Amino acid sequence: MKILENVSLKKFNTFGINANARYFLEANTVFDIQNFLADKSFSPFRAVAGRLLILGGGSNILFTKNFDGVVLKNNIKGIELLREDAEHYYVKAGAGELWHQFVLHCIKNNYAGVENLSLIPGSIGAAPIQNIGAYGVEQKEVFLELEAINIKENKLVVFSKSDCRFDYRDSIFKQEAKGKFIITSVTFKLYKTPKLNTSYGAINREIEKMGDKEVSIASISRAVCNIRRSKLPDPEKIGNAGSFFKNPTIPSEQYQELMKRFPEVVAFPPSPSDNRAGAKVGSEARGEGWKLAAGWLIEQCGWKGKQVGNTGVHKDQALVLVNYGNAKGAEVFELSEKILQSVKEKFDVELEREVVVV
């Protein structure tokens, strides 16, 4: 394992931002990571918050400047069927595996449960951190446990589902455990008998369009891929990190007031068990408040398709900020600040970035 100096991170982030890492290494095994953590010459970088950055697929990060520390690229690979019982397959995947490749592996082997999460960019290790979700399903629904290295103690530990404290696009690894652990593998509890979830309206329409006579995990995956490709730009062609902002949740009282001013506001209950993503006004909240469609809010502020210098908002999806080729991370961040401000001024709603800003 070789530690390099002054390495460009442009090819390691889907935004395509050209920032340098003071030190850079790629770890292919748990042993590689523990060897690095045991190297006393790098102890100052481990001890100071913000000096050690764990990088997976680079699909949820925005570099606004050079990184004056160590970037550790997690490349731990491997997908293994640990065991099975009457109803489930227990499948372990290395943190460095690409998420979509894992989904394809599951579909090929008839492991059900992740088909709605097809084509989400990023790595296995990032999935529980973000608690990724799409089309009526969240990662936590199939999560069993993960293994991670405690950076301070250089020991491998196991996190159960309850340990991870999953929430909407959130987990303990974005809160009190942030920067304290390096995820090395994740084990999922997948179904032998599929619980097909097509309640997200666009999936049913796409399957009908595809002409599939029977709904299966494979057809759902293809439908989701088709929908995502029609809405989201390919990072290989135009730099982006997918959805830049979270859908904000507001109290029911605030939602009622907002609805009076903007009758067409798009909102839906925050519970993942309610898959009517995009339910219109008039639907009954469940005492949980309402989750607003951030893309709709941004579009109403006039940002959709707008270009500002080398960056801008995608023409087909207002949630996606893009790099037209030469943008600096600071430019993208400044654009996001303007969007946050305009949504606050128009709707009195505060958006939160989903992308990690470094």
Helix axes 217-231, 201-210, angle to 10 degrees: 100
| Whole-angstrom distance, CA of residue 181 vs CA of residue 335 | 31
> Does residue 336 come out as left (phi exceeding 0), alpha (psi in the -120 to 50 range) or beta?
alpha
243 is catalytic: yes
Mark out the alpha helices in 236-348 (DSSP H runs).
Answer: 252-261, 294-300, 329-347
Contact predicate 184/149, CB 8 Å: yes
Under 8 Å CB-to-CB from 6, ≥6 apart: which residues?
20, 21, 22
Mark out the alpha helices in 75-200 (DSSP H runs).
Answer: 99-108, 126-130, 161-164
Give me the catalytic one of 22, 46, 169, 228. 169
Under 8 Å CB-to-CB from 71, ≥6 apart: which residues?
7, 9, 12, 21, 23, 24, 25, 53, 55
Give me the catalytic one of 138, 147, 206, 354. 354
169 is catalytic: yes
Vertex 76, ends 147 and 100: CA angle to 5°?
95
For residue 117, the 8-state DSSP code is G
Give me the catalytic one of 243, 331, 336, 353. 243
Return the amino acid letter for 50: G
Residue with tokens 């790629």: 26
The catalytic residue positions are 169, 243, 354
